[in-house]
Copies of this chain bind each other. A is one copy, B any other.
Amino acid sequence: MTDPIRTVYWDNDAVVFIDQRLLPGEETYVISRDYRQVAAAIKDLSIRGAPAIGVAAALGIALGVRHSQTASLTALQADFEIVCTTFSQTRPTARNLFWAIEGMQQHFREASAALRLRHDTDGQEALNSLKKSLITEAVRICGEDIAINRQIGAYGEALIADGDNILTHCNAGALATAGYGTALGVIRAAWEAGKGIHVYADETRPVLQGARLTAWELLREGIPVTLITDNMAGFLMKQGKVQKIVVGADRIAANGDTANKIGTYSVAVLARAHKIPFYIAAPLATFDGAMKTGRDIPIEERDPEEVTCYQGIILAPGGVNIYNPAFDVTPHRYITAFVTEQGLIYPPFGKTVASVLKTMKTS
């Protein structure tokens, strides 16, 4: 068995992450002691995938506070808020990012109270306890993410039959999380359960997370995988070569509308036309009760160069206009079920998602 992939973690007062921009060519780990480097890594896609972004933000916030040189709680809190703001401005769509920031903010409040810190507290020792507590919380969030993904896998693998060909889009794998993955967690769990499965991975232009990351992850573990370009998925479905579709999510609205990597919507429409079950695997942290429908979800548009260039190679004529939304929204009616750490959520999502949102702790 190969070692599990560790996407982003805390080690020796630093945040360590694998630079996903270099995969599959190079497996390079970056050791970062500057929270701004972690934020920049989220922005430039060295770290990507909604759950991984959330975990990286939690660890990055703990890192920023750890290295704050301030001497009072008031000043430390000001630094903390600057760090939180830096992370909140990295990418707009992934709910997990804001969930993690809000979680760290809540922990800051609760831990300061528990440690009986006053605003004029100035001993380094007292502040160090708070800093350590934030590190512990971030490390807990990181570890919990893997546990959640294993739980998603356990619920999801029941949906997969022996012999299934499973299509996935983008990378909702170990690399999109702290480890194990959401959609690929379901696939890993089915494989670990001994089911004879085969995966079709959409390459996922423009950043090729499917080709570079999903194919790499599955090859590494010996799970059978065939890589296709995004525009081949429909033809595969027409030929009866796809039995199940599982993808991840970046943000899920209260009615079940789901933002995920650009192209997910097309896959969902094609799945419906071919009567293929279409599953979203995501932790509850991806659900956002503040968004009534998908129309409320902010969709990031990224640099045109992602489409016109690849590693310095020019793919399109200079000066051409580009539209480059990083995500699209799949209306809930195309989704067969959500696979979460608390089990499967089936329609009517207006009711079922709402009742799950109620069980989540409010920050």
Contacts and interface: CB of A to CB of B under 8 A. Distances in A.
Contacts of A208: 315-316
A235 B265 contact: yes
A281 B302 CA distance: 33
- In the complex, the count of this chain's copies comes to 2
Interface in A260-286: 262-263, 265-266, 269-270, 272-273
Interface stretch (A35-43, A64-72, A149-157, A318-326): A318-326
Interface string A152-173: 0000000000000000010000
A225 interface: yes
Contact of A227 (B216, B219, B310, B322): B322
A317 interface: yes
B316 A227 contact: yes
A324 B230 CA distance: 11
Interface in A285-315: 307-308, 310-311, 313-315
Contacts of A195: none
A16 interface: no
B227 A230 contact: no
A262 B238 CA distance: 13
A231 interface: yes
A321 B228 CA distance: 9
B231 A205 contact: yes
Main secondary structure, interface of A, reads mixed
A310 B310 contact: yes
Interface residues of A, number: 56
Nearest to A272: B273
A88 to B, nearest CB: 25
Nearest to A25: B314
B317 A216 contact: yes
Contact of A205 (B230, B266, B320): B230
A316 B329 CA distance: 27
A215 B323 CA distance: 13
A193 interface: no
Given A211-B316, A215-B316, A227 B308 contact: yes
A360 interface: no
A206 interface: yes
Nearest to A268: B234
Contacts of A323: 200, 226-228, 232, 236
A265 B234 contact: yes
Contacts of A235: 262-263, 265-266, 325, 328-329
Closest 10 CB pairs of A and B: A231-B263, A234-B266, A235-B328, A24-B317, A205-B229, A211-B316, A230-B231, A226-B321, A216-B317, A215-B320
Interface of A: 24-25, 169, 200, 202-206, 208, 211-212, 215-216, 219, 224-236, 238, 262-263, 265-266, 269-270, 272-273, 307-308, 310-311, 313-325, 328-329
Given A266-B266, A310-B315, 12 more contacts: A24-B314, A226-B321, A227-B307, A228-B323, A229-B307, A234-B328, A235-B262, A235-B328, A236-B323, A238-B265, A238-B328, A311-B313
27 contacts: A202-B231, A203-B315, A203-B316, A204-B231, A205-B205, A211-B308, A211-B315, A211-B316, A212-B317, A215-B320, A225-B320, A225-B321, A226-B321, A227-B308, A227-B323, A228-B323, A229-B324, A231-B262, A231-B266, A232-B324, A232-B328, A234-B328, A235-B262, A238-B265, A266-B270, A269-B270, A310-B313
